[in-house]
Chains A and B, each alone.
Chain A
């Protein structure tokens, strides 16, 4: 990707204290939940947002080791290196790791796929609810951010879910100052999002500052892909090339890492965090021109497609 631009002045050089303030806010939220909840758990998928959350949990507890377990809901369709990364991180931080798989829910009959190749992504929530009931978790710490999509713009930092896991906008509690109400009735639980106020750029800047390790998929690497519209579909055993497809090998990276069946890479030559920060900032610039509508680099678009169940 060509990083030259005709308006180079706009590269965000925000004073770094915004990262200090975001970090302090997240540490405060984590400590409130740890202090007030009976049995919190940290949802860890091996993605960059959960990697940041895990690092923040380490800082929130330090010098104690992280005092809650990690939970991964495995669709069974993850990249091997992400699973290896997940296990390595759990070991590094000396955390108990629970893995519950959608496969088990399918076997039990609580998840029924319409057809064998259907994406398992939407069914993670069923397996998650089963795990919450099994362990009796009263708070799940997650790495979701409000800037990911419009609907999340009004999600609370501490969000109450009923025993069906439903988010009921009408029954959300007002959140004022930094006074979080963590009380839940038996059977209900909290979803807590300490990095709600972070943007994708903040996350990358923090990863750089704190030198947080990520799975290699996040950095540019050669990969076989098929172009479907403006999406690059990785050629994998779950998403094989079909008759008539042109398979090409390009340099690309993933902006979000999740279920293989619904995560697409973007063309990129960014091999390290600094390059990714430049690219992430660059996205805003090229989009700003409004003449060339290149949406491959937008992860809002990807979220939308994920919601619509695109491949």
Chain B
């Protein structure tokens, strides 16, 4: 057993891990520029050969102009600085790189006062979060806030990147103490898999290649970890949910060229979770009627079965009145049909919440009128303390709320289903997206 093996917690043993890693991993990077986040992203892009030559030449020239001995990797993502100078809101940026094993999408959420909103946005689609810590400063309030928000958005795979280890002479005890502090904090939030890595982003140590010089660390480099870590595909193992996006009707005249059908009725949508096979019985909500799957297609290709995340066309064995916003589900484990939502929301808008105002809730493919019936408490994201009965919410607030709905929604708890457990709130006057919510 390696000296620091215990610093990596065991995988969650509940079937959330797939056998073969998916070819696509989405992750977020959280931490401030001071922690070396831009440098880390620059390093990852460069060391994996994802920096175009002209970009490289440009940052090389800028580094020399500034009298730096080595290339400043943070310049790669510094389009942002120019925008900051022009007073444009700094926002989530998406970046892409690929290795021989995987394609990666980075959701890079810069800090500052809009951090909670940006982090929540980026985390909503991420499989994994990299939380960056400066080895000299250790776990800070900001680290705890990031861990809490990642947890709130359902990310259970965390990477604790203990950066700037060269500045503490790679002392194992410094690293151990940071990892222990972090692990005890996240253990209190719930079950996670934390993978800690000591690194120096500036020198590229343990970023894309392993640190030969650290005798006490035998784990993978950050890149090796990202290439191997399971993507969030727990949806495949959850009960079937298919929100109907569009009803397709082919009559004389509107068939695709070569489609070879004269009459067709089917339902288009993406499986939010579970599996569907020809012959399976499904329940259609909210009517509660049942039917069997008679055909499954992706364009002209017929499939015997489909699983979560596939965008399909489903045909059923009998005529049922189905429209957009309805849901096909597993008949044994149906969604909850609710007219009240108990949820945690993040307020995203510069306009404060109007406690008596009318809002729209968009959940899967269904949009309904809603009212805030109760603002239960506000969570202080730094201390996690609850402040009871707030009167409103302002941008970046996290609130536990109760929403009253005009029509029923077909929901699951967010911890069980990321798609049927999440919603956005739209202001019907400004038409802006003003909040995002996860259902309890």
Contact = CB atoms under 8 A, between A and B. Distances in A.
B21 A15 contact: yes
B246 A176 contact: no
A21 B24 contact: yes
A35 B92 contact: no
Given A31-B246, A199-B96, A93 B53 contact: no
A13 interface: yes
Interface string B409-440: 00000000011001110100001110010000
A179 B422 contact: yes
B327 interface: no
Contacts of B228: none
Interface residues of B, number: 75
Given A34-B246, A286-B53, A62 B259 contact: yes
Nearest to B306: A24
A17 B24 contact: yes
A15 B49 contact: no
B383 interface: no
Interface stretch (B117-125, B166-174, B398-406): B117-125
Contacts of A27: 270, 311
A298 interface: yes
A177 to B, nearest CB: 5
Tell me which of A174, A177, A199 has the highest count of chain B C-beta atoms within 10 A of its own C-beta. Answer: A174
B102 interface: yes
Contacts of B266: 63
B22 A197 contact: no
A94 interface: yes
A181 B426 contact: yes
Contact of A58 (B23, B299, B365): B299
A65 to B, nearest CB: 4
B324 A173 contact: no
Interface stretch (B9-17, B132-140, B193-201, B250-258): B250-258
Contact of B362 (A151, A181, A298): A181
B54 A298 contact: yes
Contacts of B23: 14-18, 21
Nearest to A301: B54
Nearest to A21: B24
Nearest to A27: B311
A107 interface: no
Contacts of A181: 362, 424, 426, 431-433
29 contacts: A11-B100, A12-B98, A13-B101, A14-B98, A18-B103, A21-B309, A35-B324, A58-B299, A60-B311, A63-B248, A63-B256, A63-B264, A63-B300, A64-B250, A66-B256, A153-B79, A174-B121, A175-B121, A175-B433, A177-B419, A177-B422, A177-B424, A181-B433, A183-B431, A283-B52, A283-B53, A298-B54, A301-B53, A301-B54
Contacts of A10: 49, 99-100
Contacts of A146: 94, 96
Interface stretch (A120-128, A242-250, A259-267, A288-296): A288-296
B374 interface: no
A285 B300 CA distance: 37
Interface in A206-220: none
Contacts of B431: 181, 183-185
Given A24-B309, A300-B55, A174 B433 contact: yes
A199 B102 CA distance: 13
B255 A64 contact: yes
Given A21-B23, A176-B424, A197-B96, 4 more contacts: A17-B22, A169-B83, A176-B436, A185-B431
B96 A176 contact: no
Given A15-B23, A34-B246, A65-B256, A287 B422 contact: no
Nearest to A66: B256
Nearest to B364: A179
B94 A63 contact: no
Given A10-B100, A58-B256, A176-B121, A295 B52 contact: yes
A164 interface: no
Given A10-B100, A284-B50, A63 B57 contact: no
A63 B24 contact: no
A150 interface: yes
Interface of A: 9-18, 20-24, 27-28, 31-32, 34-35, 58-67, 92-94, 146-147, 150-151, 153-154, 169-170, 172-179, 181, 183-185, 196-197, 199, 201-202, 283-288, 290, 293-295, 297-298, 300-301, 304
Contacts of A294: 53
A14 B270 contact: no
Contact of B57 (A22, A147, A173, A295): A295
Nearest to B249: A64
Contacts of A23: 311
B245 A28 contact: yes
Interface string B386-403: 000000000000000000
Nearest to B22: A17
A22 B52 contact: no
A145 to B, nearest CB: 9
B79 A173 contact: no
B270 A22 contact: no
B191 interface: no
B369 interface: no
Interface string B330-366: 0000000000000000001000000000000011010
> Top 4 A-B pairs ranked by shortest CB distance?
A15-B23, A150-B79, A288-B49, A18-B23
Contacts of B261: 63
A201 B53 contact: no
A239 B91 CA distance: 40
Nearest to B55: A300
A172 B54 CA distance: 30
B213 interface: no
Contact of B124 (A18, A22, A64, A176): A176
Contacts of A295: 52-54, 57
B52 A169 contact: no
Interface string B55-80: 11100000000000000000000010
B424 A62 contact: no
Nearest to A170: B89
Contacts of B57: 293, 295
B88 A174 contact: no
Contact of B257 (A93, A174, A185, A290): A93
B120 A176 contact: yes
A93 B259 CA distance: 11
Nearest to A12: B98
A197 B245 contact: no
B51 interface: yes
Contacts of B362: 179, 181
